[in-house]
């Protein structure tokens, strides 16, 4: 077992495993980068809604693929297009509720999340009944399974993740500005709405490419946890984004390798637990914000 794990960790388990592992690592980097801006824009929980809102889209995509006879429904581009569509719809619903009703953002986030997810489950049950017993294989979208990833899918994930990272680097200055002081950003003529929609779109892309490996229930963790972990170590936003992408990549590397080697370990869960370990260590030991230094500081004060 240890031998197998070491082999996977050192990228020596064959082309396929190496490719899957690499794509997951790049996904982790993209999550860290985008997650940093989402966290600083205080949209952490919105990403939870967006990821849950992909479920009805995945189900509708499956139905559409079956209808047009594409690869018995498991046609990834169609599934992801559906996922992105309902995720966007969910994000816009939250925005609409926030601006047009007396309900607060947390209520908007929670209600859209539960209703879209509920709708997704109803659609999944429709598919299950339609298929009469034969599994549609959509369950992996909930919790993620790295072993089911094909080479094509790995390349898709990698390319999309790299595009997201490049976009975030190009827009670094503008994204920083809207995260820090959105009112001021608008007063200087920055297109706040367009930048916010861009951030939402980048978020949706990483959520969608993360569906297969991390799963929609836990992808939000990969967006938030590395960014917050990085926050414990730096006061500089550029450094924070770099650190977050490293934490994201490491979490994916360790989690995916463990899940690929050991039987029955769900990938999404293992990745999140790896990320959570980095967080816990940082939360305890980091200077200034860490638990220990806070406690020592409190005693000295």
Partner 1 sequence: MPAPLSVKNLSVHYHLQDEPALSSVDYEATPGHLTAIIGPNGAGKSTFLKAVMGLIPYTGEVKVFGKQLKDQKQKIAYMPQRSSVDWDFPISALDVAAMGLYGKIGFMRRVTKQHKTEALSYLDQVGMADYADRQIGQLSGGQQQRVFLARTLAQNADLYFMDEPLAGVDITTEKIIISILEKLKKDGKTILVVHHDLQSVGNFFDDALLLNRIKIVEGPTKQVLTPDNLAKAYKTPVLTDVA
Partner 2 sequence: MLDEFLQIDLPAILVAVLASIACALLGSFLVLRKQALMGDALSHVVLPGIAVGFLLSGHINPLYMMGGALAACLASVLLINMIKTWGKIEPGAAMGIVFTTMFALGIVLLETKIGSKVHLDAQHALYGALELTYWPDPGNLSTLPHQILTLGAILILITIFIFLFFKELKITSFDPVLATTMGFKTSHLNAALMTLVALTAVASFEAAGSIIVIAMFICPAATARMLCDNLKSQLYVAAMFGALSGLLGYILAALMPLWLGFEHSLSASGMIAVTAGFFQMIAMLFAPKYGALKS
Chain residues in the site for partner 1 (CB under 8 A): 40, 42, 99-100, 102, 170-171, 173-174, 176-177, 179-181, 183-184, 186-190, 231, 234-237, 240
CB of 299 to partner 2, least distance (A): 14
Which residue's CB is nearer to partner 1, number 243 or number 254? 243
- Residue 224's nearest CA partner among 30, 81, 21, 45 is 45
Return all residues near 174 (Cβ < 8 A) that are at least 6 apart: 185, 190, 195
Residue 90 binds which entry of partner 2, partner 1, none, CB below 5-8 Å type-dependent: none
Which residue's CB is nearer to partner 2, number 3 or number 102? 102
Residue 188 binds which entry of partner 1, partner 2, none, CB below 5-8 Å type-dependent: partner 1
User: How far is it, in rounded angstroms, from Cα 279 to Cα 247?
Assistant: 9
Which residue's CB is nearer to partner 2, number 70 or number 107? 107
Three-state secondary-structure class, residue 104 = coil
* Cβ pair 50, 109 in contact under 8 A: no
Which residue's CB is nearer to partner 1, number 100 or number 134? 100
Residue where the block lists tokens 């995509």: 61
- Residue 98's nearest CA partner among 39, 34, 45 is 45
Residue 300 binds which entry of partner 1, partner 2, none, CB below 5-8 Å type-dependent: none
User: How far is it, in rounded angstroms, from Cα 271 to Cα 218?
Assistant: 9
* Cβ pair 32, 25 in contact under 8 A: no
CB of 179 to partner 1, least distance (A): 7
* Cβ pair 152, 140 in contact under 8 A: no
Q: What secondary structure does DSSP assign to 30-76, as a single string? A: HHHHHHHHHHHTT-HHHHHHHHHTHHHHHHHHHHHHHHTTSGGG--H
Which residue's CB is nearer to partner 2, number 122 or number 170? 122
Binding site for partner 2 (CB under 8 A): 39, 42, 44-45, 48, 97, 100-104, 106-107, 109-111, 113-115, 117-122, 124-126, 129, 139, 142-143, 217-218, 220-221, 224-225, 227-228, 231-232, 264-266, 268-270, 272-273, 276, 279, 283, 289-291, 294
CB of 220 to partner 2, least distance (A): 6
């Amino acid at each position: 077992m240890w031998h197998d794990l070491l082999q996977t960790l050192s990228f020596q388990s064959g082309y396929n495993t190496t490719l899957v592992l690499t794509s997951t690592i790049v996904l982790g980097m993209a999550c860290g980068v985008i997650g940093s801006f989402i966290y600083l824009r205080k949209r952490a929980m919105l990403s939870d809604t967006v990821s849950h809102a992909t479920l009805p889209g995945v189900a509708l995509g499956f139905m559409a693929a079956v209808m047009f006879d594409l690869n018995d429904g498991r046609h990834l581009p169609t599934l992801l297009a559906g996922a992105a569509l309902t995720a966007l719809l969910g994000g816009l619903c939250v925005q609409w509720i926030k601006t047009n009703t007396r309900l607060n953002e947390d209520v908007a986030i929670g209600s859209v999340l539960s209703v879209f997810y509920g709708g997704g489950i109803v659609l999944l049950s429709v598919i299950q009944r339609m298929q009469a017993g034969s599994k549609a294989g959509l369950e992996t979208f909930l919790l993620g399974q790295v072993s089911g990833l094909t080479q094509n899918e790995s390349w898709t994930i990698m390319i999309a993740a790299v595009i997201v990272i490049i976009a975030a680097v190009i827009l670094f200055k503008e994204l920083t500005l809207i995260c820090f002081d959105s009112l001021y950003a608008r007063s200087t003529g920055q297109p706040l709405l367009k930048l916010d929609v861009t951030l939402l779109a980048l978020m949706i892309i990483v959520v969608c490419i993360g569906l297969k490996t991390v799963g929609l229930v836990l992808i939000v963790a990969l967006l938030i946890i590395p960014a917050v972990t990085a926050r414990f170590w730096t006061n500089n936003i550029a450094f924070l984004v770099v650190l977050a992408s490293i934490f994201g990549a490491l979490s994916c590397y360790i989690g995916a390798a463990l899940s690929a080697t050991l039987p029955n370990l769900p990938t999404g869960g293992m990745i999140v637990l790896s990320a959570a370990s980095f967080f816990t260590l940082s939360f305890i030991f980091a200077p200034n914000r860490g638990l220990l230094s806070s406690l020592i500081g409190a005693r000295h004060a």
